[in-house]
């Protein structure tokens, strides 16, 4: 009599613990792919919006017009536009206070932009820690299922007079499925985490560069306003 060694049959015939481990790994894999696709859309949309905003910013248009355009965005501005909006709003607020040192004006604007930048980076980094956790723990969860399945297979051999490969093969095969499932859940999560973490760092560097350049522009505006007074 031949034993059905199909993956479905092995999973259905596995012990409760192995099946439970496989169910956990399947759930983490689904969650991982959901995060991957969601984060992919978010980062792509943020990068595209930053490219469009930088093109508008460096086109030489009026900053007040650009500020009003950013303020009127549906759902509020995000990314680089949000940093610009925070900085320019603070610039207008401090400038209306009267005779304020240009360095003080720029300092307040930097603080407002830094808070906005931290908020934007936090939004981009959200759920990346979950991907890292799935990538680092899934192989061990799968290994636990494998060890448990192999242990049960060898315990069953203790009740027979003579052991054959045909007797132990199904148990070992179903146990190894847990290891494969752990790798299936972990590998995409690790790859996506490294890729998206790098993209977030690159966007953060772009934000830093924009803040420095915009701070210089605001400082020149503050000095010209003070001279005019």
Is residue 224 a contact partner of residue 64, using CB atoms and an 8 Å limit? no
Is residue 89 within 8 Å of residue 105, measured between CB atoms? no
pLDDT confidence of residue 164: 61
Select the more confidently predicted residue: 221 or 192.
192
* Residue boundaries of the structural domains of the chain: 19-58+77-228
Q: Of 49-53, 99-103, 168-172, 219-223, where does mean pLDDT reach its minimum?
A: 168-172
- Mean per-residue pLDDT of the chain: 84
pLDDT single digits (tens) 81-137: 899 999 989 988 887 776 778 788 889 899 999 999 999 999 999 999 999 999 999
In this prediction the pTM is 0.82
Measured between alpha carbons, how far is 182 from 171 in angstroms, rounded to an integer?
18
Q: When comparing pLDDT for 79 and 15, which is higher?
A: 79
pLDDT tens column, 13-34 = 667 787 888 899 999 999 999 9
Region of 14 on the Ramachandran plot (φ > 0 left; ψ -120 to 50 alpha; else beta): beta
């Amino acid at each position: 009599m031949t034993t059905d060694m199909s993956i479905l049959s092995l999973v259905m015939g596995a012990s409760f613990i192995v099946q439970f481990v496989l169910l956990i790994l399947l759930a983490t894999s689904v969650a991982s792919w959901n995060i991957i696709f969601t984060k992919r859309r978010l980062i792509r949309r943020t990068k595209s919006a930053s490219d469009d905003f930088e093109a508008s910013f460096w086109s030489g248009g009026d900053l007040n017009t650009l500020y009003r355009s950013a303020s009127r965005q549906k759902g509020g501005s995000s990314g680089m536009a949000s940093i610009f909006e925070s900085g320019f709003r603070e610039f207008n607020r401090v400038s209306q206070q009267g005779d304020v040192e240009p360095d003080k004006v720029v300092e307040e604007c930097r603080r407002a932009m830094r808070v906005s930048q931290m908020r934007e980076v936090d939004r981009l980094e959200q759920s990346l820690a979950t991907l890292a956790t799935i990538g680092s723990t899934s192989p061990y969860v799968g290994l636990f299922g494998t060890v448990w399945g192999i242990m049960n297979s060898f315990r069953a051999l203790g009740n027979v007079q003579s052991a054959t490969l045909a007797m132990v093969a199904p148990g070992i095969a179903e146990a190894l499925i847990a290891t494969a499932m752990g790798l299936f859940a972990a590998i995409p999560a690790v790859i996506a985490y490294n890729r998206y973490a790098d993209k977030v760092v690159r966007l953060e560097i772009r934000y830093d560069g924009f803040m420095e350049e915009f701070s210089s522009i605001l400082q020149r505006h503050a000095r010209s306003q003070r001279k005019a007074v």
